[in-house]
Structure 1
């Protein structure tokens, strides 16, 4: 297959490109060219400014493609530019979306709870919206205005040894430093997914016939209390949690990156019923914490 990846040089995007190469696909990666990659001559590289329509139009000359993966689309105008630039050049389009399209308050949001197939489109760039609304807008444009088969994968917090944001690593560092992590509700249930599983799911979704929004998350949820209990077991430290009143001002240096106040998770039954088998988070999460601890302790 001929595949275009918009953004594919780090984290799960990099893992996706590796899977595509291993599958024998003809892969083009389009980025700003600021990050080095390890793909060698196995991919075609095109320097592209995702936020400039003219840049996407120039990229279109490298098409057509069987699948386009878009990891760097954050608003309605971003999606509209792609819909116009790639019209007639893509059989399948997969947008990386987010759990953030939903509000907090449920452990298992269903795709139908936020219906972007019938969502009102408001023109704008990422600066004009919150992150969550920008992604809702991007989905809406893609589903309502494109001439290709389109799906948007709604993923939760992505974790892994290769997470450049170091959000999970933060908790191990705090424990090793003997500093309590701050949180508002350490018992709130949260969905996660590994970077590797995210890449495998994107690969699978690109070759599937599912359209519209599709939730993807590792089976099972964790609370911050669960996370810190595993950190305690791995590091042999206290790994304390300081619970904050809802109205209090946190110490931004100690506040957990997963500072949700209510349950925040995804129902993954649609993808499972279509044939994707998600891993269980209890099977691999302790190993991840052990690997992160080695990064801290050497």
Structure 2
């Protein structure tokens, strides 16, 4: 199959490209050209800035694809433009969405908790919305206006050794370095998925017949308190936790007020087999702790 991936040079986007290549698909990536092309001649590369509508339309003008993956759409305006450009050019679009389409209100989320099909569209650019609202608006545009099938994959926090956001790394680094971390509610539970599993689900969403919104998360959730305990056990250091207050540097990127996780039952029923969070999270934490400890060892002379 011919596959186009918007945003495929780092983290789970890169893993998706690798997976598509391993399964012998004809892959094109569209990037701004700033991160280079880690795949060389294995892929075709189109260069365009997503924010330049004319350049994007020109880059995508002469080819059709079986599947298009859009990992870098954050607003209804971007969603509307890609729908217009891809009309007649793809058989299916997979949109990377987010747990942030749901409120962190302590209730385990299912796809029905945000219905993009009846959500009022307010057109605008990414700077006009919060991250979560921008994704809600983009979903609404895609599901209401796209003439081709769409899947919106709602991911929780994606983690992995190569995570450029370094949100899990932040907690490891602060604990290993005996620095304080500020939370809102350490008892709040969260869900996660690895970059490998995120890529695997995106691939599944493309080649299967599913349509509509799907939650994709490892099975299980963990409280922030238990996550900190994992890091403490692996590092031998005690977490210095404060609730509220603290300076900007100490604020946890996981500082949520209440449980914020979701059910993967719909995706599992569609045929995808998810990992168990507790099967791999301790191993990942162990790896990140060892990396951090190694980085602070005194230089040997």
In the aligned structure 1, how far is the partner of 2:150 from the partner of 2:63? Answer: 17
In 2, Cα distance between equivalents of 1:241 and 1:27? 46
Shift of 1:153: 0.3
Query: 1:294: which partner in 2?
Result: 290
In the alignment, is residue 93 of structure 1 matched against residue 93 of structure 2?
yes
Alpha-carbon offset, residue 217 of structure 1: 0.6
- The 8 Å contact of residues 94 and 206 in structure 1, kept in 2 or not, is answered as yes
Match of 1:268 in 2: 264
Distance 1:252 1:116 in 2: 34
Counterparts of 1:16 and 1:194 in 2: how far apart (Å)? 12
Q: Partners of 1:174 and 1:136 in 2: how far apart?
A: 33
Shift of 1:56: 2.2
TM-score, normalised by the number of residues in structure 1: 0.96
Q: Structure 1: any 5+ residue segments left out of the alignment?
A: none
What is the 5 A alignment of 1:188-267? 188-244=188-244, 249-267=245-263
Across the aligned residues of Structure 1 and Structure 2, the Cα RMSD in angstroms comes to: 1.1
Q: What SS does the corresponding residue of 2:205 show, helix, strand or coil?
A: helix
Instruction: Assess if the C-alpha contact under 8 Å between 1:28 and 1:43 holds in 2.
Output: yes
- Aligned to 2:250, the other structure's residue is in SS state coil
Asked if 2 retains the 8 angstrom alpha-carbon contact of 1:181 and 1:240, the reply is yes
Q: Report if the CA contact (8 A) 1:53-1:85 is conserved.
A: no
Runs of at least 5 residues in structure 2 that lack an aligned partner in the other structure: 295-301
Moved over 3 A (4+): none
Is 1:49 matched with 2:71?
A: no
* Residue deviations 1:76-135 (CA, integer Å, cap 9, x gap): 110110111110111010000111111111342111111101211111111111111111
Task: State the 1:140 CA deviation.
Answer: 0.7
Q: TM-score, normalised by structure 2?
A: 0.95
Cα offset, 1:296, TM superposition: 0.9
SS in 2 for 1:241: strand
CA offsets, 1:14-34, max 9 Å, x none? 000000010101000001000
CA contact (8 A) 1:189 1:223 kept: yes
Q: Aligned partners of 2:131, 2:161: CA distance in 1, in Å?
A: 25
- Counterpart Cα distance in 2 of 1:109 and 1:250: 30
Q: Report the more deviating stretch, 101-110 or 182-191.
A: 101-110
